[in-house]
Structure 1
Amino acid sequence: MEIHLSVVEIMIRLFLSMVMGGVIGIEREYRNRPAGIRTHILVCMGATIIALVQTEIASASLRYAIANPELAGVVRSDEARLIAQVVSGVGFLGAGTIIVTNRSITGLTTAASIWAGAGLGLAIGMGYYDIAIASFIGIMLALTVVKKIIRVKAVRKLEIRFIHREETKEFISDYFESKQIEVENVDFNVDFRNDYRIYTNIYTIDLPRGLSYTEVIEDLSLYKNITKLRLINV
């Protein structure tokens, strides 16, 4: 570790964190996520600043120990102290991007990208350029390429709210059978509204190749007795 960082070296590290954090933020903003380019730049640069401060504290302690050898055994500097606070503290910011609705959760990837961006900033601030560059490439691959290469068949649930139970259930069953949609599980619920009942079925379904959830929802929405359709991500 250098005894003292030059202004040029500090500027290089801050510039790198701004560029790398900005690129990650552009990808998130392009996908219309809650944390975009400015948030990721600030998180990455903020982590870099804290790492630079920690590096300077360690450098100052080392210089003091060299200037006062009789106190070398007394002077202490823990380089992980401020860094540990970044790792735990950035979790609060990431948690703010996570949106939990009735039966779905969104924003997890953005929260993870903020956390990874903070780690990237720490690596840059500490001067570990090899780690920073390799990590940046890995983060961008995870955000842009992995989903295109590796396709995981997600389990999804379809919420259908309807009236006239017998007639509508028969229609839904016939539709699933005609489209070769496999029903893995069904959850039932009924609400009593004045003189009639509203039924809500949540189907865990497995679609055949070539059929999308959008098509299923569009087809079912044409039926008069169905009052609400919603896709639930598990």
Structure 2
Amino acid sequence: MLESLLDDLTNSFSAVPVTVAAARLLMAAFLAGVVGYERERRDKPAGLRTHIMVAIAACLFIIIGQELGSLEFGKGDQMRFDPLRLIEAVTAGVAFLAAGIIFTSNGEVRNITTGASMWLAGAIGLSCGAGQILLACLTAGIVVAVLTVLRQIEKLLGTHD
């Protein structure tokens, strides 16, 4: 039964193979990490973790768009469902909520990583809704690793995001 479930999860990728999705998510994390590190070195408010989470979320939104675009939603006049509108609605709504928790206090930006993680949670939700549970799990795992490992590194170095 577990083997059947795992087969179903890995075979549920129709437009982007799981290995390709994982490589894309990891590359987004790495490349955003390069930019985030540069910002971090310059003591900018949006640092390493924030940039990585935003890039992973954006990557996930595109992969989910590709996956949803490959699904059958009806033909011609029957088509009443535009999967890209779902992505637009979620990203706009979650971005609005995330922006609401970011604030400046005494000249210091607060909660920006939390805002990025909320946006990322929207992408994870879209993935799950599209039936891309494995993709959502990959993404959540990468993000938790980023947050956990980088927090420990920041403690060792005495820096923060």
Name the TM-score, length of structure 2 as normaliser. 0.48
| Greater share of strand | 1
Bigger relative CO (Cα 8 Å, ≥ 6 apart): 2
| Greater share of helix | 2
Name the TM-score, length of structure 1 as normaliser. 0.34
In our comparison, the structure showing a higher alpha carbon Rg is: 1
